[in-house]
Amino acid sequence: MALSFLLSAALGAGIWFLYPPASPAPFVLFLFVLSFFRDFERKTPSDPDAFVSPADGRVTEITDVTEDTYVGGPAVRIGIFLSVFNCHVNRTPWPGTVEYIKYFPGLFLDARHPDSGPKNEANALGLRDDSRNVKMLVRQVAGLIARRIICTAKVGDRLEKGQRFGMIKFGSRTELYIPKDRVGSIAVKVGDAVYGAKTILGRLK
């Protein structure tokens, strides 16, 4: 779908050059949308204990919570806000087998709002790594502008650290839940810019 959109947009851009409208606004909008769908090759850190960011954006929350849907108990939640200027591809923070996927209908509050995580439309993906006996949950949360969550992973898939598994179209939020008793250290703080598959968020015990 994204490819067909880009091809259509490219054709539109060609027509714009041949027959430029009175206002440059359509072409500026085209460039903005084209930049939104950009994707980058990323080198994942080799540190075997490090879990990495599942998205590009800015850390807005590091909180102790209880996560009962998949982690099953106390967890550390790291919330990342993705503005419309960030790359919106989601990546796995840790290697593992997809054990849980669930879609949650909901609202479309601004993704910076503290209630957006539990109340907005979301998709949750649970990963289990038997070699380290650890589970992690990634939630893709829609925002005020984002109205389409894409998750290409399926239950039973084996995903490597930093592997792409979906995206959220336009401004949104991505949350990572790690079992609290497995968190050895957190390497980021609220306000830090992070990059999917590249930035180390913390390390396991």
Q: What tokens were used for 154?
A: 């399926």
Domain match, 71 and 152 both: yes
d(CA 71, CA 135): 6
As for how many domains the chain has, the answer is 2
Note if 172 is an active site residue: yes
Cβ proximity of 159 and 91 under 8 Å: no
Nearest to 88 by CA among 201, 197, 169: 169
Helix (H) or strand (E) holding 73: strand 73-82
Question: Exactly one of 4, 8, 46, 172 is catalytic; which is it?
Answer: 172
Integer Cα distance of 60 and 41 in angstroms: 25
- 27 and 55 fall within a common domain: no
pLDDT tens string for the chain (205 positions)?
A: 444 434 444 444 444 444 455 555 554 444 445 555 556 678 999 999 999 999 999 999 999 999 999 999 999 999 999 887 888 899 999 999 999 999 998 777 776 766 777 788 899 999 999 999 999 999 999 877 656 788 999 999 999 999 999 988 766 899 999 999 999 999 999 999 999 999 999 999 9
Tell me the one-letter amino acid at 116.
S
Residues 29 and 55 in one domain: no
Residue 45 lies in a domain: no
Q: Please check whether residue 41 lies inside any domain of the structure.
A: no
What distance lies between CA 47 and its chain's CA centroid?
21
User: Residue 9 is part of which domain span?
Assistant: 2-36
Does one domain contain both 178 and 87? yes
Q: Are 81 and 179 part of one and the same domain?
A: yes
Q: How far is CA 196 from CA 6, 93, 103, 145, 155, in A?
A: 23, 8, 22, 21, 22
Q: Are residues 153 and 121 in the same domain?
A: yes
